[in-house]
């Protein structure tokens, strides 16, 4: 071979070997895993890619585990979908990244529970399958699981009800038969008010909630051959394989209705009531006022969204029964007429005092302010409520109240919107304090100093003067001053406000007003997904209580003339 040809081949071989030794390596991730994509928003602007291991068993559980505990999240968003300015501005793009991160954080705060729960379509398929196996194949295991699903009670409790003599499912719930219809009767202990002398003047009429159950279900439950817990487990194993729901269990079946109601309505109180959750485990149930026919209608609507056949069975087997008792819930809220009379008496006591008895006028005015502030803010009646004057921002119409701590009221507390009526009454009260301070300056110099400390937020806003000594208001003091009103429960204002707000505003804002938010979801908290602008709108609804309860403000100018 000529020398030129040999040298040329050697050069080519060197180049060829270099390319072979430095070829691109194939990443193992592309062999062992595959990518799946999901959108984090309804508009499908934010896309997340997830690596799923091939051959993982079960596949659904692998996906849920990765979603719950992601190692490295890969999220793609086009900045121009957020704002067109991002196409030509690097500064705008830098602003968009933290904005999108906050948006994703808010979306994920709205999740109602762990993603290990079946998705809505799986829940629908499960209920339909249970109904088909029961109605067409006379499968009693399917019937018991369906009853556990529809009521939230455990499978063991429904296994016990197979006996015709059995009626009680647990200490609080029992099966009753009235007006030719079966009902699941739930007793809510927290609503009881047995020793209250004037029970006829309370708003809600019962602490028992009856959820109708088709007679056919109970008759078949007791007529068909008995099944055991092992039979239920065997049937569940079959459902897990056929419906591809890997984590389906007897416990999960009984919790699916609560999960579904919460996901569809966002109303935790409704979910707790329908499934009979014990109030000791649910702060949302503590303050409750519900119309029973409306509650039944909501229950049927939820069943319609899950399975039309089950809902039609309920509608055909459960007649609309007239009942004299229509309102259910807490037995601590007075009727509207009683509230009107209470505030009329409180206001009358201010103007019925002698003109020169300014201390008596001051005391009664403070008591009136105590009650009006509690009703229109739905705050807890704690000592030294509502705190200091500096806690009010009358221009922005907000109050920072510390009503969760047992001790002092010096914490930052939580934010409560103030309605216009309340802002106006506070301004009039402050003018009265100025007038009161001037009038008593000569005769009571020590009390004059107290008023100045109130105005400079060194003492709480509300208090009473007894034996020439000023003391801040507390629930026991207010109760002792007006025993004739018969207000046995200090927090009747909160029960009244909750009853008024029900169905007038969305549930998250009501829970925020009552201080029943989830952790880190308090209004103005850095991680809260609660919109302050939306939350502040609840003040407009609170304002309506003035007209509804026929409450009028104090004509302070009459006192200060």
pTM greater than 0.95:
no
Helix, strand, or coil here: 161? coil
Residue 205: both structure tokens together: 């009429």
Beta bridge partner(s), residue 213: 182
In this prediction, residue 28 carries a pLDDT of 45
Residues 436 and 512 in one domain: yes
Residues 300 and 357 in one domain: no
Decide if 24 is inside a domain.
no
CB 460 within 8 A of CB 369: no
Alpha-carbon distance of 442 to 445, in angstroms, equals: 6
Decide if 380 is inside a domain.
yes
Residue 236: both structure tokens together: 């569940």
Decide if 11 is inside a domain.
no
Residue 457: both structure tokens together: 């937020």
CB 503 within 8 A of CB 270: no
Residues 368 and 444 in one domain: yes
Tell me which of 77, 109, 141 is where a domain ends. Answer: 109
**Residue numbers of the domain that contains 410:** 336-560
In this prediction, residue 87 carries a pLDDT of 84
Residues 318 and 437 in one domain: no
Alpha-carbon distance of 346 to 78, in angstroms, equals: 61
Residues 460 and 373 in one domain: yes
Residues 371 and 305 in one domain: no
Decide if 346 is inside a domain.
yes
Give CA separation, 495 vs 105, 373, 484, in Å. Answer: 33, 14, 20
Side-chain-facing half-sphere of 249: CA atoms under 13 Å: 5
Peptide bond into 58 cis (omega under 30): yes
In this prediction, residue 441 carries a pLDDT of 80
In this prediction, residue 32 carries a pLDDT of 64
Residues 405 and 467 in one domain: yes
Residue 341: both structure tokens together: 């009379």
Decide if 220 is inside a domain.
yes
Average pLDDT along the chain, 561 residues, taken 10 residues at a time: 80 71 50 67 72 53 44 76 84 82 65 58 90 92 94 92 89 88 86 74 86 91 92 92 85 88 86 78 73 89 90 76 74 90 93 90 94 93 90 92 57 82 96 91 85 93 91 89 71 91 88 78 70 88 95 89 77
In this prediction, residue 111 carries a pLDDT of 46
Backbone angles phi and psi of 318, in degrees to 5: -110, 95
Alpha-carbon distance of 162 to 192, in angstroms, equals: 31
Residues 321 and 391 in one domain: no
Q: Choose among 115, 153, 358: nearest CA to 250.
A: 153
Q: How many helices (H) and strands (E) does the chain have?
A: 24, 13
Tell me which of 109, 134, 166 is where a domain ends. Answer: 109
Tell me which of 109, 144, 166 is where a domain ends. Answer: 109
Decide if 104 is inside a domain.
yes
Alpha-carbon distance of 228 to 141, in angstroms, equals: 9
Query: What phi-psi label fits residue 133: left (phi over 0), alpha (psi between -120 and 50 degrees) or beta?
Result: alpha
Residues 57 and 148 in one domain: no
Decide if 307 is inside a domain.
yes
Return the CATH number at 511. 1.10.443
DSSP structural state of residue 168: B
Residues 296 and 421 in one domain: no
Residues 58 and 135 in one domain: no
Decide if 115 is inside a domain.
no
In this prediction, residue 65 carries a pLDDT of 45
Residues 437 and 476 in one domain: yes
- Indicate the number of domains in the chain: 3
């Amino acid at each position: 071979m000529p020398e030129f040809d040999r040298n040329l081949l050697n050069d080519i071989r060197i180049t060829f070997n270099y390319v072979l030794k430095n070829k691109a390596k194939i990443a193992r991730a592309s062999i062992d895993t595959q990518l799946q994509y999901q959108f984090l928003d309804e508009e499908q602007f934010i896309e997340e890619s997830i690596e799923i291991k091939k051959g993982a068993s079960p596949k659904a559980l692998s996906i849920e585990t990765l979603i719950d505990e992601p190692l490295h999240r890969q999220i793609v968003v086009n900045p121009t979908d957020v704002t067109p300015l991002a196409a030509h501005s690097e500064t705008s793009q830098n602003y968009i990244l933290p904005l999108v991160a906050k948006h994703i954080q808010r979306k994920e705060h709205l999740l109602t529970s762990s993603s290990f729960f079946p998705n809505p379509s799986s829940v629908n398929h499960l209920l339909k399958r249970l109904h088909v196996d029961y109605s067409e194949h006379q499968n009693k295991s399917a019937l018991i699981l369906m009853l556990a699903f529809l009521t939230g009670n455990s499978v063991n409790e429904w296994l016990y009800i197979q006996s015709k003599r059995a009626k009680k499912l647990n200490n609080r719930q029992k099966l009753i038969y009235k007006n030719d219809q079966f009902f699941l009767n739930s007793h809510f202990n927290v609503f009881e008010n047995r020793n209250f002398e004037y029970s006829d003047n309370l708003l809600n009429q019962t602490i028992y909630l009856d959820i109708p159950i088709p007679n056919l279900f109970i008759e078949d439950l007791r007529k068909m051959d008995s099944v055991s817990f092992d039979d239920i487990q065997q049937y569940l194993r079959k459902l897990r394989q056929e419906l591809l729901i890997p984590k389906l269990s007897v416990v999960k079946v009984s919790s699916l209705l609560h999960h579904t109601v919460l996901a569809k309505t966002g109303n935790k109180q409704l979910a707790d009531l329908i499934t009979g959750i014990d109030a000791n485990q649910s702060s949302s149930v503590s303050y409750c006022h519900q119309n029973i026919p409306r509650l039944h209608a909501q229950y049927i609507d939820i069943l319609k969204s899950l399975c039309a056949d089950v809902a039609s069975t309920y509608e055909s087997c459960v007649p609309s029964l007239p009942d004299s008792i229509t309102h259910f819930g807490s037995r601590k809220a007075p009727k509207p007429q009683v509230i009107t009379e209470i505030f009329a008496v409180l206001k009358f006591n201010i103007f019925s005092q002698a003109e020169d008895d300014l201390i008596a006028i001051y005391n009664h005015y403070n008591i009136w302010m105590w009650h009006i502030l509690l009703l229109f803010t739905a705050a807890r009646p704690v000592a030294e409520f509502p705190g200091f004057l500096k806690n009010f921002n009358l221009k922005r119409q907000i109050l920072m109240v510390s009503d969760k701590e047992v001790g002092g009221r010096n914490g930052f507390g939580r934010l409560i919107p103030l309605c216009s009526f309340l802002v106006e009454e506070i301004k009039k009260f402050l003018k009265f304090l100025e007038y009161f301070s001037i009038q008593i300056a000569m005769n009571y110099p020590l009390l004059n100093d107290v008023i100045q400390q109130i105005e400079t937020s060194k003492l709480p806003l509300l208090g009473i003067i007894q034996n020439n000594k000023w003391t801040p208001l507390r629930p026991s003091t207010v109760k002792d001053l007006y025993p004739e009103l018969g207000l046995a429960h200090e927090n009747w204002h909160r029960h009244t406000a909750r009853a008024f707000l029900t169905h007038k505003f969305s549930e998250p804002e009501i829970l925020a007003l009552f201080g029943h938010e989830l952790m880190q979801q308090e209004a103005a908290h850095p991680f809260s997904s609660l919109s302050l602008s939306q939350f502040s709108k609840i003040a407009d609804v609170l304002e309506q209580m003035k007209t509804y309860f026929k409450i009028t403000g104090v004509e302070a100018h009459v006192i200060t003339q």
